[in-house]
Amino acid sequence: MGIGFFNPLFSFSNKEGVKNFSWFLANLLCFFFCSHGFSESISEAIDRQNPSRLFHEGRIEAAARVAFEASLRDPQDWKSLKILGWVALMKNQLEDASRFLQKGLRLNPEDTEMKRLLAICYYREGKLEQSADLLNEIREGWTANLLTQLEPKAFDVLEPQTSIKLDDSDPFVIIPVKICRKKVSLFLDTRSSFTALDRDLYEKVKEIRLLDVIALQFWFNFAGKWSIRARTGIIQSMQIGNMKIERIPILLARWKGTYLFPRHVPQIVHGVIGTDMMRQFNVTIDYPKKELFLQKREGSFSERSFLETKDGSVTRLPFYLTPGGQILIQGKINDQEGIFFMVDSLDVGRAFTFSEWMLEKFHLPRYGGWMIGLRRGGRYPSIYTIVPKIQIGNIVMENVKADIGKSYDFPPAIEHKQGFHIGAIVGNSFLKSFIVTFDFQNMVLILQSKKMAATDQPPISPLAYQRTVAGIDESDH
């Protein structure tokens, strides 16, 4: 399970405010399940046998293949079983993940890391009691107490599908919803692992049931030290379009529904819809038409948007859910494989963002200076690099501008505590050129581009050159 949480954004510029917002939402998983990080560092794993080395290098499909072969040769190889369970969990293959991790724990019952992964697996399966039992074993009793108060049948979706028209003038994906008959606006945030609301909304919507336990009270080493306090609750009913959803777990934080970034969001936004709710559906965001389409995941998946448009190219590539609930895709940098990109729909204004680790790894130059902040008019540094080649699926881009991320873009929980480095973010400025479908049923990301008519003006893009390559093998070698 992943949880996100809110940061009051009043003192940040537009771009910094957006990323602090997403950073808060992404990091509560470290508090919830992975606050201790995973036990084995990347540098230590390099010296291990091939499955661990491949996994920590980001070549997880190759790691799974080697681990499977190793487990056949040695049925007592619990380390290979852990890798198999970890990869299956990221691919949302929960039955396989549970089977591998249970077998690994029978061979090594003291492995805290496997217990935490299995607890996440049980949570995603709705087996809350089993998840709580494992958390109690690793002395995370307060989290176990929280799970015992949640309802196994959460996210009860009553209609098979719905569609919503989005605001044409807004770069964010802001969804109008009804919570217990009250109209509110929520971001769709692919980086947030938990659906969250402004806690002050609780005073106006009495049907939100507060849970007894405090969900968050801990310290971060980021821009000094400060503590955040939040609670969890249950929304009895939410309506999106004509679709009704019941029993939704939410995080409630002291984040007033405020005018965020007034030049970009001319309306009050009360929270986010995170990946915990997104994975109940197949989600299509038609950025060119500004439409959102939700289809219940268990139904027969119809590529609705793609059947309507014959002119364009389609890219399909697998995506993964980290144990923390963030969406990852793999790509290549300068033809090197095993690079994870985190998909961030709230990263407006940036196509790609790289960590300092990526700059060092690929010896990338550093450019930039100062720019005027959109919110307060203050000056702040804007540093970027030029990447010779980025490939995502069969989309190849050359001489690509990528921003250099700050600590709230790549906190330790994201960059290196998932078992491998996550050194890049793909943001809204890349996604907005496509019809984007997150097929959670098959764990496939589908990008459809539309051919421009002769009279169309090309969109403003930081991509200097882009081409599509046919017949590329997207598998991990």
126 φ, ψ (degrees, to nearest 5): 85, 10
User: Which pLDDT score is estimated for 254?
Assistant: 66
pLDDT at site 348: 80
Tokens 């494989």 locate to 337
Which among 394, 377, 289 is positioned nearest to 332, based on CA atoms?
394
Per the CB < 8 A criterion, the answer to whether 1 and 120 are in contact is: yes
> What is the Cα–Cα distance from 298 to 84, expressed in whole angstroms?
25
Q: pLDDT of the chain along its 477 residues, tens only?
A: 333 332 222 233 344 444 444 444 444 444 444 444 454 444 444 444 589 889 988 889 999 999 999 999 999 999 999 999 999 999 999 999 999 999 999 999 999 999 999 999 998 888 988 998 998 898 877 777 777 777 777 889 999 999 999 887 778 899 999 998 889 889 999 988 888 888 777 777 777 888 765 544 332 322 223 334 567 888 888 999 999 999 998 888 765 544 444 445 556 788 889 999 999 999 999 999 999 999 998 755 454 444 444 445 899 999 999 988 899 999 999 999 889 999 999 888 889 999 999 999 999 999 886 554 443 444 556 789 999 999 999 999 999 999 998 877 887 767 666 788 888 999 999 999 999 999 999 999 999 986 533 333 433 333 333 444 433 333 444
Cα distance between residue 137 and residue 132, in whole Å: 9
| Dist CA 431 CA 417 (whole Å) | 26
Domains for the chain: give ranges and CATH numbers.
42-139 (1.25.40.10), 153-280 (2.40.70.10), 307-468 (2.40.70.10)
How far are the Cα atoms of 29, 114, 406, 423 from residue 34, in angstroms, in the given order? Answer: 6, 11, 22, 19
Helix (H, G, I), strand (E, B) or coil at 231: strand
3-state secondary structure 370-386: EEECCCCCCEEEEEEEE
Selection from 235, 319, 249 nearest residue 277 by Cα? 249
Calpha distance 77→127 (Å, rounded): 27
Q: What pLDDT shows up at residue 306?
A: 42
| Length of the chain, in residues | 477
Helix axes 78-90, 60-73, angle to 10 degrees: 140
CA atoms within 13 A on the CB side of 427: 27
Residue closest to 24 by CA, chosen among 216, 172, 235: 216
Q: Name the residue type at position 475.
A: S
- C-alpha span between 82 and 88 (Å, rounded): 10
Output b/e per residue, 372-386; b: 16+ Cβ within 10 A. Answer: ebbbeeeeeeeebbe
Helix (H, G, I), strand (E, B) or coil at 392: strand
